[in-house]
């Protein structure tokens, strides 16, 4: 594989890893607070549909983004009520929301546009356009570093850079703020947090709201940045892959970045089967390459990558002692 081809694959890796990274960070906030959220997939899907539809109807990608975040936070609120207020089974609630989103997105898109559950193709101001980073032209001629900066780091949409920025912000919030300390404590020992006079319910609802926000960004990026509109089941299991990446990363923000980049790299390779054939002299069928991220997901969930210990109070509804 020559350097130019490697840069193309890395560029695709960054694009494909962005929705995984946002969803992984969303799950990180939720599970750190003790709320397991299998419904990342559903929130991304309904956000993609809402953002694609709103952008197509309004012609503004920013209105589409707000619609996607709103739709995702609506499902997050339902999950919060079911899991926190009514103390229902968190896994069942998440799976139910995935089924609801799978059917509702196609139904709504079909009723609005009559295009088989898709939105019209987006263009112009209805999509996130690439942003050229400063000094791209000046640095481009520098060997190795210049092409990497120009072809891999530069030329992405705003949500790609927002996702990368979200990693250090998440680390700072969780490990350098009072809110983060309390949030992590709620996922480990909610009784001690309650004893200190801090509302466990409010903290968990806040975490669920952040999860909805990040999943909204992920779904909106898929419909208005990665692709030009919403398509049926366009998330294609990315919510579950993000959960696997979260376990792989052992619920840590910086590890989540590298885990999602790994999954994104495997997805990028699936788009370039010629690279595998030229590099190793072996022609691998495209369906086999498409299956690589899902195979890695199974390996991670089966525990072959080492022991991952979730927050101790994860999945357990909190009942306030009287």
**What's the pLDDT score for residue 322?**
59
Q: Is the pLDDT of residue 257 over 70?
A: yes
Tell me the backbone φ, ψ of residue 316, rounded to 5 degrees: -105, 120
Segment 132-142 mean pLDDT: 89
Find, among 7, 2, 17, 18, the residue nearest to 148 by Cα.
Answer: 7
Q: Are 243 and 31 in contact (CB under 8 A)?
A: no
**What's the pLDDT score for residue 272?**
86
Instruction: Give the confidence band of 303 by pLDDT, cuts at 50, 70, 90.
Output: low
Domains contained in the chain, CATH given: 3-122+143-301 (1.10.3470)
Residue with more model confidence, 302 or 175: 175
User: How far are the Cα atoms of 82, 190, 192, 273 from residue 313, in angstroms, in the given order?
Assistant: 17, 7, 12, 44
Segment 35-55 mean pLDDT: 96
Q: Are 142 and 148 in contact (CB under 8 A)?
A: no
Q: Is the pLDDT of residue 1 over 70?
A: no
pLDDT tens-place string over residues 109-136: 999 999 999 999 999 999 999 999 998 8
**What's the pLDDT score for residue 299?**
81
Alpha helices in the chain, H assignment, sequence order: 3-32, 40-58, 61-80, 90-113, 136-139, 145-148, 158-176, 178-188, 190-195, 200-221, 238-248, 253-271, 273-280, 286-290, 292-301
Per mean pLDDT, which range of 73-77, 108-112, 194-198 is the poorest? 194-198
> Alpha-carbon Rg of the chain, whole angstroms?
20
Instruction: Give the confidence band of 304 by pLDDT, cuts at 50, 70, 90.
Output: low
């Amino acid at each position: 594989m020559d350097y130019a081809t490697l840069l193309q694959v890395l560029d695709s890796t960054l694009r494909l890893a962005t929705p995984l990274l946002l969803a992984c960070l969303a799950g990180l906030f939720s599970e750190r607070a003790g709320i397991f959220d299998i419904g990342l997939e559903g929130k991304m899907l309904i956000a993609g549909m809402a953002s694609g539809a709103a952008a197509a109807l309004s012609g503004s990608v920013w209105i589409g983004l707000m619609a996607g975040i709103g739709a995702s936070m609506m499902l997050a609120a339902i999950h919060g009520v079911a899991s926190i207020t009514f103390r229902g089974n968190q896994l069942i609630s998440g799976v139910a929301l995935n089924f609801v989103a799978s059917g509702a997105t196609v139904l709504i898109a079909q009723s609005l546009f009559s295009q088989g559950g898709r939105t019209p193709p987006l263009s112009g101001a209805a999509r996130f356009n690439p942003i050229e980073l400063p000094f791209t032209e000046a640095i481009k001629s520098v060997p190795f570093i210049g092409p990497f900066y120009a072809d891999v780091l530069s030329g992405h949409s705003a949500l790609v850079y927002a996702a990368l920025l979200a990693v250090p912000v998440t680390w700072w919030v969780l490990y350098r703020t009072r809110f983060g300390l309390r949030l992590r404590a709620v996922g480990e020992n909610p009784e001690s947090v309650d004893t200190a006079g801090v509302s466990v319910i409010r903290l968990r609802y806040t975490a669920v709201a952040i999860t909805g926000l990040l999943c909204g960004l992920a779904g909106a990026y898929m419909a208005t940045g990665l692709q030009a509109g919403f398509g049926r089941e366009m998330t294609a299991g990315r919510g579950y892959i993000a959960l696997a990446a979260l376990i792989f990363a052992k619920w840590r923000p910086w590890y989540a970045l590298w885990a999602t980049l790994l999954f994104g790299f495997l997805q990028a390779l699936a788009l370039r089967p010629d690279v595998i054939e030229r590099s190793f002299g072996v022609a691998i069928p495209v369906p086999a390459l498409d299956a690589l991220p899902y195979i890695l997901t199974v390996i991670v969930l089966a525990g072959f990558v080492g022991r991952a210990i979730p927050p101790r109070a994860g999945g357990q509804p909190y009942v306030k002692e009287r």
